[in-house]
Chain A
Amino acid sequence: MTTAAPGSRLSSVAFDIAKVRADFPILSERVHGKPLVYLDSANTSQKPASVIKATDDYYRHANANIHRATHLLSERATGLYEGARKKATAFLNAADSNTIVLTKGTTDGINLVANSYGRSKLNAGDEIVLSWLEHHSNIVPWQLIAEQTGAAIKVVPINDAGELDLDAYARLLTANTKIVAICHVSNALGTINPVKSMIAQAHAVGAVVLVDGAQAAPHLVIDVQDLDCDFYVLSSHKMFGPTGTGVLYGRKALLEAMPPYQGGGDMIASVTFEKTQYNQIPYKFEAGTPNIAGVAGFGADIDYLMSIDRQAALAHEDDVLEYATRAVSAVDGVRIIGEAKHKTGVLSFLIEGIHPHDAGTILDQQGIAVRTGQHCAQPVMDKFCIPATIRASLAIYNTREDIDVLVKGLWKVKELFA
């Protein structure tokens, strides 16, 4: 799986999985009378008690609007909100917290960049480079902007293992390339893309790069300065925080030069009917009252992630993914989709003669939550000429025992369809 795999057994001893599991209350839930085996974290992850408590505490002790009122509650709310921004700055190793825009999530962040940066910079003849691995949310916003600006979209193909064709990528980069938008980790297949070198290549032709980090954030340590990316977007809810919030990191000079995306309160310095002065970054991009409770939870979420040994957590996850790959492959008629050398968190597969949706229902009845379908990545499905897959996706709280239950469940599926 990733480079940490050989040492994973040693590291997984150091990683206290029992303690981590105890941090997530929902993992003791029963569904259809069976203990929950949650293998759908790439869809949305579960939340630790500290995150649930932080959102609850916000409403109990700090609920007020931010950045405006003079009273104590507003001060508390603003403190939680801006505190989360500082935590996100550290989480991404950004140099300055004003490069951290709090968004509704990854989709919102991509739409912001496409509409603000894309619309103001792109002209007919310019090119946007995407990849065949992208989630619909990193395709459609660019199609909308391409339609409006006359820019063209180029797509980096993938090989049979589900890895990007890097030679093709190099050939696609030309003086016409203005934007490269690429996922750090594929949501449908789990492929980890070599974004750092891809960013350097794009910069060499003068393009800016947006990295969709939605699937990377829960697994990998992210350093936007080391990556040298221009934009990095992620969602809180994929990395154990609440839904409806996330981060757009942007290079300072780019954010400063970009026009606002949405107009409203908080994003302005002064408003008259003759002329409106916009606020400074990042507030220029944060119109309207945000999801303050969600952001408070997101702050607690980052604290949680920073409190665990993330290298050990990743080694543990790699061990479970490797185990899952072996165990699921051993079930008769299983075909694994996506066998990239560098993968994290995702096992997509098919069972011969059984539609994923039927398998999903039968697994659910046994307490096993997986996702079945296209995973908002129709191009990936088309590439492999398949309508859908069963996707078991992992997070820090999953275990080899979860995989044993999954495998038993798959045999049950086969039995029913025999």
Chain B
Amino acid sequence: MSELSELYQEVILDHNRRPHNFRVIDGATAKQEGFNPLCGDRLTLYISLDGDVIKDVAFQGSGCAISKASASLMTDALKGKTVPEARALFEEFHNMITSNPDTPPADLGKLSVLAGVREFPTRVKCASLAWHTMKAAVAHEADGPVSTE
């Protein structure tokens, strides 16, 4: 069960119970829905931009502990970042949660608590839903909800 306690660390359970930035931003620059049809996870992401800088970011929705904690941690991490920095962080985060579990995970600060997802390939989509949604929101590339499928 060691992988399990690696996955469900206290920090993750805390973010699940009391997610940060769990609110609506009225008049957000970008609003994007994300949906994982496999498990029914759904979230709406709000981003306020000041030029290229993410001034505020928040989310609402329902999902598993991994997807909720990931969204919560992501919103914390993105505040103050520029859009290109956010995109780069998406790549780093995605690489971390899909990297070989036998190698040391990349150090992404507070986001590193989600590295345990590497041991659970079926949960990668949960951890990346908020991130895919963010990527779509800043690219204005999706008209409809973005999906992990």
Contact = CB atoms under 8 A, between A and B. Distances in A.
Interface of A: 354-358, 361-362, 365, 372-374, 378, 381, 387-388, 416-417
A356 B122 contact: no
Interface string B20-40: 000000000000000001111
Interface residues of B, number: 21
B3 interface: yes
Nearest to A33: B1
Contacts of A381: 40
Nearest to B3: A365
B56 interface: no
Contacts of B38: 373-374
A417 B13 contact: yes
A381 B39 CA distance: 11
Contacts of A372: 39
Contacts of B65: 354-355, 358, 417
A358 B4 contact: no
A355 B4 CA distance: 16
A362 B13 CA distance: 14
**Residue of B4, B41, B42 with highest tally of chain A CB at under 10 A:** B4
In the A-B complex, list the 3 residue pairs whose CB atoms are closest, starting with the nearest: A387-B40, A355-B64, A357-B64
B3 A373 contact: no
Nearest to B120: A361
Interface string B80-120: 00000000000000000000000000000000000000001
Given A373-B40, A387-B39, 6 more contacts: A355-B62, A355-B64, A357-B63, A362-B4, A387-B62, A388-B40
B13 A357 contact: no
A367 B133 CA distance: 33
A388 B39 CA distance: 6
B74 interface: no
A372 B66 CA distance: 15
A328 B142 CA distance: 42
